[in-house]
Amino acid sequence: MTVSPERDDSSQSGRARIGKSKMGVLAVVALVAIYSVSAPKLNERFGWQLPAIKTDRDGNVRMADSTPPANVTSSAKSDAEKKVLQPRSTTNEAAPTSPQSTKTGPTGPGPLSSRMQPVERSSATPTSKPLSSVEENPLVAESGELLYGILREVSRDRYLSPAGLMYTPGSAEGHRLEHLRRHTEDDVGRPGSHGVFDGDMAGALATIDRAYERALKKQKTTVTEEDGRKIYTVDMGGRIGFIGGQTGKQKRNPIARRVRMVIEGNRVITAYPM
């Protein structure tokens, strides 16, 4: 049996096509493999947020969205965003920015600012009274919801996290959460280092909760204790923020992978990335 020249040509071109497509598939697989291996390393090294490659239920390879901060679901984030409300009236002069400071994030007062006692005021006469009604404070109307999608108000101005940390009034800013807010944006004029959490308040709170859980399990944690206060330094194993401030700027804002927390009982005094 002889093979016609036309048939031979077509089978040869078919084999060539198959060979090319095989080469193409191999090239794609190789690129995907290289990307999968190098993306996390690049993210960690440079603080990028390259999407991960994941396989869905049908076995299709897809690019995953940028990973949100741990333990913060999208619904939690949207709740958190809803909660960031501008107070209707406030005379609080806490936390004014220094002339040098360049804020990279939102600079307005936080949702608790309307509840905070006024501090750093030049006049001794109080100019605001505590807010007590729904009309005066929008947060009161939303009681029952979770602040920043994670914190439950257990009594007035006292918020409990899922891991059991309590955020209470106090600090120069009037509330520990408002102090924590300082660590959700850079303060380039601040001398030394200034740790900044990824993911705004919701991300910061979730990271601190994870750190606290690790600390309780003594995972990659060092702790010093004095007069009932514990200072935890927890290695989170990956990026949780970056180092800002003057020192951070000089070092091109290296990533932060540790959390330092100062805690008394279960009450948070401060927490920041380092």
Q: How far is the CB of 247 from other proteins (least distance, A)?
A: 10
98 touches other proteins (CB under 8 A): yes
Which of 172, 219, 223, 237 is close enough to bind other proteins by CB under 8 A? Answer: 172
Query: 71 Cβ partners below 8 Å, 6+ apart?
Result: 150, 162, 206, 209, 210
Distance between CA atoms of 155 and 152, rounded to whole angstroms? 9
Tell me: does residue 51 bind other proteins (CB under 8 A). no
Binding other proteins by CB under 8 A: which of 220, 230, 249, 267? 267
In whole angstroms, how close is the CB of 143 to other proteins at the nearest point? Answer: 20
Q: Which stretch binds other proteins (CB under 8 A): 31-39, 146-154, 162-170, 198-206?
A: 162-170
Member of 49, 52, 121, 136 binding other proteins (CB under 8 A): 121
Q: Is 3 in the site for other proteins (CB under 8 A)?
A: no
Question: Does 5 interact with other proteins (rule: CB under 8 A)?
Answer: no
Q: Does 105 bind other proteins (CB under 8 A)?
A: no
Place of tokens 């994670």: 150
Please answer whether residues 95 and 118 qualify as being in contact, where contact means their C-beta atoms are separated by less than 8 angstroms. Answer: no
Min separation Cβ 140 and other proteins, Å = 20
Q: Which is nearer to other proteins, 65 or 264 (CB)?
A: 264
What CA–CA distance (Å, rounded) separates 224 from 59? 48
- Distance from C-alpha of 198 to C-alpha of 183, rounded to nearest angstrom: 9
225 lies in the binding site for other proteins (CB under 8 A): no
Of the candidates 215, 214, 270, 207, the one whose C-alpha atom is nearest the C-alpha of residue 241 is 207
Pick the closer one to other proteins by CB: 176 or 239. 176
Q: Where are the beta strands (DSSP E) in 91-228?
A: 152-155, 158-160, 166-167, 194-197, 221-226
Applying CB under 8 A, the span of 39-47, 51-59, 82-90, 122-130 interacting with other proteins comes to 122-130
The only residue of 75, 123, 133, 155 in contact with other proteins, by rule CB under 8 A: 123
Does position 135 bind other proteins by CB under 8 A?
A: no
Segment lying near other proteins (by CB under 8 A), choices 26-34, 82-90, 117-125, 215-223: 117-125
CA of residue 175 relative to chain centroid, distance: 19
Say how far apart CA 259 and CA 152 lie, in whole Å: 22
Distance CA 237, CA 257 (A): 6
The closest alpha carbon to 267, from 221, 212, 217, 220, belongs to: 212
Instruction: State the DSSP H helix or E strand holding residue 210, giving kind and residue range, or none if neither.
Output: helix 200-216
Residues 28, 184: Cα–Cα separation, whole Å: 39
Residue span binding other proteins (CB under 8 A) among the ranges 11-19, 73-81, 138-146, 182-190 = 182-190
* Site residues, other proteins (CB under 8 A): 94-96, 98-101, 117-124, 168-174, 187, 189-193, 195, 226-227, 229, 231, 260, 262, 264, 267, 269-270, 272, 274
